[in-house]
Structure 1
Amino acid sequence: MRLSRRGLLAGLGSLALPRAALAIEQNRFPVAIGARRIAAFEPRSPEKRRFGALQFRGGLVLSCGHPRFGGFSGLWRSADGRDLVAVSDRGFWLTAKVASQEGRPVALEGAEMAAMLGASGRPLIRSRSFDTESLAIAGGVAYVGVERTHEVLRFDWAGQGFDARARSVPVPAAIKRLPRNRGLEAIGVAPAGPHTGIVVAIAERSVREDEPTLGVILKPGRPELFKVARHDGYDITDLAFLPSGDLLLLERWYKPWRGVGMRIRRIAGRDLKAGALLDGPYLIEADLGFEIDNMEGLSVHLDQGRTILTLISDDNFSFLQRTLLLEFELA
C-alpha cells in the first residue's frame, strides 16, 4: 500500500529514472546490493535481544544504485533460508542468496532483478496489474497478490523462473470490490490442516478504520470468505504460515508527523474457516524507537529446528526511507 506521501516521493523518483533502465525491463539484470549491519533492534538498549515473543537475530540496511531497486512488499525464503525472492510494487522480481555469519545475515549475494511478465509476455509494469504487493511460493509455484486490480496471479517459478508468465487465479466478486488502494496485501499457502496447499489472501483494509478486513481461502471452485479483526489503526501488510498451520500477520500503521509502527499477530490455524472473524495475540510491537521502516513483507523458514521470521520494508522509492531486512527467532 502506498503511504499518503508516496505519490509525491514516487514522482520525484521517476524524474531520475533513466531511459536505459526502461529499455532493460524485460530482461534479467544483476544488481549490486550494499548491506550495512544492524547490531541492535532497539538502539537505546543495544544489549537487548528479546522483544515480546521474538529474539532479534540481526538485520541489514540494503542499498543499491539501480532505479528499479526498492518498493519491496512481498518476501519468500527457501526452506533452508539461503534463497530469497522478493517482489516490488512496481512489478519486479528480486532474487539473491542470503549470506550469514554466526546466525546473523551479513549480505545479499548474486542478486538479480527482472520484470514480472503478464500472460502475453508483456511486463506487468506496462499493464494495470503492476501493483504487486504480496508473494508466496509453494510447490514450485509463485502466487502474487495485486492491489488496485484485486487479482491473484500464479507463476511457474520452479520451471521458468523470471521467464514465467502470469496466470490468473479466480477470486470471488467480493474481492474484486475491495477499495482501490486497499487490496490483497497478504498472501500465503497453508502447509498443514484442513486447507493444506490452499492459497489464503487478506486485504490490507477492506472497510473503515478499525473495522474487520476481508480475507479469502481460494479453494478451487468454492472460495470461502472470512474476516480479520483490526485494532488501533493497524493495517494488514503480509502473512506467513508457521509449519503447524498457524498464521502470522504483519501489521503496519502510518500517520503524518508521527511516523510508522509495526507488529506481528499470531492466529490459530484451526480458526481459519468460512465466515470466521480471526484474532489472536501479538508477538511483537515496535515504533520508530526501533530499527523499523514501512515493514510490508514477511517470510518464515526453519534453521536447525528454530523458527525464523524475516521482514522486509518498502522504501516507497524515497530517499527519506530505507530498505530493511530483519531476522527474528520465534522464542
Structure 2
Amino acid sequence: MPPLIGRRRLLKYAAAGLSMAAVPGAVLAQTAVQRPPKQTVPDEFSVSAPVSIDVNARPLQSFDTRDRSRVRFGELEFRSGLILTSRFRGFGGLSGLRLDPKGERFIAISDKGGWFTGRIVYKGREMTGLDDVEASPVLGPDGKPITSRGWYDTEALALDGSLVYVGLERVNQILRFDFAKGFTRAHGELIQLPLGVRKLPYNKGIEALVLVPKGLPLAGTLIAISERGLDAQGNITAFLIGRTLGLFSIRRSDNFDVSDAVLLPSGGLLLLERKFSWLGGVGIRIRRIALASIAPGAVIDGPVIFEADLGSEIDNLEGIDAHVTPEGETVLTLVSDDNFSMIQRNLLLQFALVE
C-alpha cells in the first residue's frame, strides 16, 4: 500500500506537534502616547462563530498494521477506532477531550481556540461515528474569541461539574468557564497561578489538566502538567493549584514529553506521552501514576502500560479520557491532533483497560 507508506514516512517529519506556523506575540499594555494595538488577524482554521457541522467517520479495521489480528497491547485491548474528517475548515487540531460518564457526549478543544461538542455513536461496543457536532469559539473575559488576543494552543481540558478549565500552552494561562452560564458561549476568566507556571518555556507549557474529585487524595486540587518544562534534574515540572498548592516533578525518560492526563475512577493517574525524532519518527506511551504519590516536592514515576510506534495506527495523540461501561469495563478514549496537515489524521481510538 504505497500511499500508506508515504504517509507514514512523511509523518516522521510533521507529527508530534511540529508546526511552522507562527503565533502572534503578546500585546503590550497601551499608554496615552501609544497607538492602539493592531487587531490580530484571525487564523484560517479558527472558529469564528457557533455552527453545526458534519463529521465523517471511517473505521479502522485494526490497530496494529503489521498484525491485524492482534488486539492486546500492554495492559490495553483495542476496541475500535475512527478516522475523522469534515468539510468544515476549522475541524481539526484536537488537543483535549472529556466525556460524560457513559462515554457518549463529549467536549473537545482545538489548539486553534475552538470548542467541539457532540455525541459518539456506537454499534455494540464499537464506535461508528459522531453526531450532533457543533463548533464554537472559545470566549475570553471580554466575550470575544480568545484568538482575537492572539491566544492559541488551547491544549488542556479539565471538568469539575459545570466548571471547565482550559490550559493555554504558549501564554501559560488557565481559563475557567461556567458552562451553566451559556455552555460553550460562557466567558472564560483567568485564574490565579503559581509564578512558576508563567516561567514555563515557550510552546512547552501547560499541556495537561486534571481536577481531583471528592473522596480522593488531593480532592479539589487542579493538577497542571507541562509538556516539557524541566527542573534542574531534567524532569517534567507540574503544579498543584487550588486546595493544595505546590510544585512536583514527573521523572522524564526516553525523551518522552507529556501530552495529556486522565484520572481513573479507581484513583490512578494515567499520563499520555509522546516523542519524536527525525530518525525514529513518532512514539506514544501511557504511564500509570499512583495519585497518592503526588505531593509538593515529590518526584513521581510509574510503569508504562502501553506503547506504540508508527507500526500501529497512531498519529499525534494529544487527548485521553476514561469512562466505565455498565459491565464495569474501564474504556480509554484517545484523540489526535492533525496540526491541520494533509498528511496527518484526526484519530479517535478506544481501548479497554485490562486490570
2-side partners of 1:256 and 1:29: how far apart? 38
Superposed displacement of residue 208, structure 1: 8.0
CA distance in structure 1 between the aligned counterparts of 2:232 and 2:196, rounded to whole angstroms: 19
Summarize the Cα distance change of 1:23–1:242 in structure 2 as closer, same or farther, 3 Å threshold.
closer
Tell me the distance in 2 between the aligned counterparts of 1:96 and 1:76.
11
From 231, 235, 242, the counterpart of 1:219 = 242
**Number of the residue aligned with 1:130:** 152
Alignment match, 2:303: 281
1:203 aligns with 2:226: yes
Count residues in correspondence.
321
1:160 aligns with 2:182: yes
In 2, distance between residues paired with 1:283 and 1:307?
14
Farther off after superposition, 137-146 or 278-287: 137-146
CA distance in 2, matches of 1:23, 1:224: 37
Structure 1 residues 286-320: Cα deviation after superposition (integer angstroms, max 9, x where no partner)? 00000000000011111111111100001001001
**Residue 111 in structure 1 maps to residue 124 in structure 2:** no
Secondary structure, in 3 states, of the residue corresponding to 1:159? coil
The corresponding residue for 1:76 is 98
What's 2:85 paired with?
63
Give, in whole Å, the separation in 2 of the partners of 1:8 and 1:27. Answer: 23
Q: CA deviation at 1:247?
A: 0.5
Structure 1 residue runs without a partner (length 5+): 11-18
Q: Of 242, 254, 258, which residue of structure 1 is paired with 2:276?
A: 254
Maintained 8 Å contact 1:141/1:154: yes
What is the identity percentage for the equivalent residue pairs of Structure 1 and Structure 2? 38
- The answer for the alignment partner of 1:14 in structure 2 is none
Q: Say which SS state the counterpart of residue 147 (structure 2) adopts.
A: helix
Aligned equivalent of 2:19: 6
Matches within 5 A, 1:34-49: 34-49=56-71
1:264 matched to 2:277: no
Contact 1:9 1:318 in 2 (8 A): no
CA change 1:48–1:151 in 2 (3 A) is: same
AA partner of residue 298 (structure 1): I
What is the RMSD computed on CA atoms of the aligned residues? 2.3
Cα offset, 1:160, TM superposition: 1.8
Match of 2:325 in 1: 303
Q: Which structure: larger Rg? A: 2
Equivalent-residue separation in structure 2 for 1:20 and 1:233 (angstroms): 34
TM-score (norm 1): 0.92
Q: Compared with structure 1, are the counterparts of its residues 309 and 144 closer, same or farther at alpha carbon in structure 2 (3 Å cutoff)?
A: same
1:292 correspondence with 2:305: no
Deviates more, 1:28-37 or 1:183-192: 183-192
Q: Is the CA contact 1:309–1:327 (under 8 Å) kept in the aligned structure 2?
A: yes
State how far apart, in whole Å, the 1-side matches of 2:62 and 2:335 are. Answer: 16
Q: In the TM superposition, what is the alpha-carbon distance from 1:39 to its structure 2 partner?
A: 1.8
Paired position in structure 2 for 1:15 = none
Mapped partners of 1:300, 1:157: distance in 2: 21
Aligned-partner Cα distance in 2 for 1:235–1:27:
33
CA displacement 1:12-69 (0-9 Å, x = unmatched): xxxxxxx999799442101111101012110221111111001111000000121111
1:83 alignment partner AA: R
- Contact in 1 for aligned 2:231/2:237 (Cα 8 Å): no
Unmatched 5+ stretches in structure 2: 1-14, 24-40
**Segments of 4+ moved more than 4 angstroms:** 2-5, 19-24
**Structure 2 CA distance for partners of 1:286 and 1:174, relative to 1, 3 Å:** same
User: In structure 1, what is the Cα distance between the partners aligned to 2:42 and 2:147?
Assistant: 16
Task: Tell me the amino acid that sits aligned with residue 52 of structure 1.
Answer: G
Instruction: State the Cα deviation string for residues 217-250 of structure 1 (Å, max 9, x = none).
Output: 1124x62111101110100000000112210000
The residue that corresponds to 1:323 in the other structure is 346
Q: 1:285 to 1:181 in 2, by over 3 A?
A: same
Post-superposition CA distance 1:145-202 (Å, at most 9, x none) = 1111111111112432111111112110011100011001011111342312321110
Kindly tell me: are residues 199 and 44 of structure 1, through their superposed partners in 2, closer, same or farther at Cα, counting changes over 3 Å? same
The yes-or-no answer on 1:231 pairing with 2:253 is yes
Going from structure 1 to structure 2, the CA distance change for 1:281 and 1:5 (only over 3 Å counts) comes to: closer
Contact 1:75/1:86, CA 8 A, preserved across alignment: yes
